[in-house]
Structures are given as structure tokens and as C-alpha cells.
Amino acid sequence: MLSEIERRELEDAVKSYPDKRGAAIDALLTIQRRRGWISDDSLLEIAKFLEVTAEDLDSVATFYNLVFRKPVGRHVAFMCDSISCWIKGCEQVQEQIKKLYDVDLGQTTSDGRLTVLPIACLGQCERAPAVMIDQDVYGDVTPEKIEQIVEKYK
């Protein structure tokens, strides 16, 4: 069941749109912020609130890569793999993460600490390669620096 706070947040989100459906993405992201990901149960609750079918909402949820329909770790590292970062060696940074934490793209460490995902250009190309962990962006990342960065996220 949606908690009181969640319900209030969703009601708030709906205010920006002429119909409830307009808030579908905001609603998914709002609940995800609280619960970490969108389980089938969460999906049903949100669909009910928005007065759309769960299938319809799932077609939206599965379209967007920042909506997680599977559990993720306590932290998520988004590794930019677009061109400017590729030129500057993002593949080596990712290899280093794999070596240090035994986790490949799309996977979560066995202790549930870190999920590593690829991401499209983070708009930080002048300081490539770039990585975003949760909401924090790091530029000019190197294989040498990445451990120190990830260690801030326990």
C-alpha cells in the first residue's frame, strides 16, 4: 500500500498535469526514490492511483532506462560509454571496476552495494570520461582514480 507520504507526493506530482496519467513518469520515479526500484506490487499501486491499467503503466516503466523494474544495489554507478568518453578511455575505467568489485555492466555486487549500468552521454564530455554515482557526477575519471571515488559509497 502507498504510505501517507508517498500518496501526498504523488498527489503533488499530478498537480503539474491536466490529467493523472501525465504524472506517470514522475510517479514511477517518486516511488522508486523511496523504495529503490519498481516491483510488481509497486507498479500495481501506482497504476491504481493513476487510474491506468498495470499493463499500460508497465509499457511505460520498461521503456525508460532510469526506471528500474529489477532490484538494484544501494548505489548505482552509471558509466558513460558514449563517444567522447570512449575516446578518452571509459572502457579501461569499466574494466577496472570489474576487476575491483567483480561486477559487470548490468550486474550488482554480491553484497548488494553497487549496481553498474551503462549510460548515454552524461553531458560532461569536456571532462571525459564521466561517471555518475547515484546523483553525483565525476569527470576526468581514470582507472587509478575510480576506486577512491567508488569507496565513498558504502
* Nearer to ligand FES among residue 22 and residue 118 (C-beta): 118
Least CB distance to another protein at residue 63 (A): 4
Residue 125 carries which DSSP code?
G
Pick one of ligand FES, another protein, none as the site partner of residue 105 (Cβ within 5 to 8 A by kind). none
Q: Using the rule CB under 8 A, is 55 a contact of another protein?
A: no
Does 46 interact with another protein (rule: CB under 8 A)?
no
Q: Which is nearer to ligand FES, 122 or 133 (CB)?
A: 122
- Cis check for the bond before 18: say yes or no (omega within 30 of 0): no
Radius of gyration of the chain, Cα coordinates, nearest whole angstrom: 18
Q: Is residue 77 within a helix (H) or strand (E), and if so which, with residue range?
A: strand 75-80
Binds 28: which of ligand FES, another protein, none (CB < 5-8 Å by kind): another protein
d(CA 146, CA 35): 27
Q: What is the pattern of x (binds another protein, CB under 8 A) and - over residues 62-81?
A: -xxxxx----------x--x
Cell of 49: 492511483
CA 64 remoteness from chain centre? 10
Give the footprint of ligand FES on this chain (CB under 6 A).
80, 82-85, 121-125, 128, 130
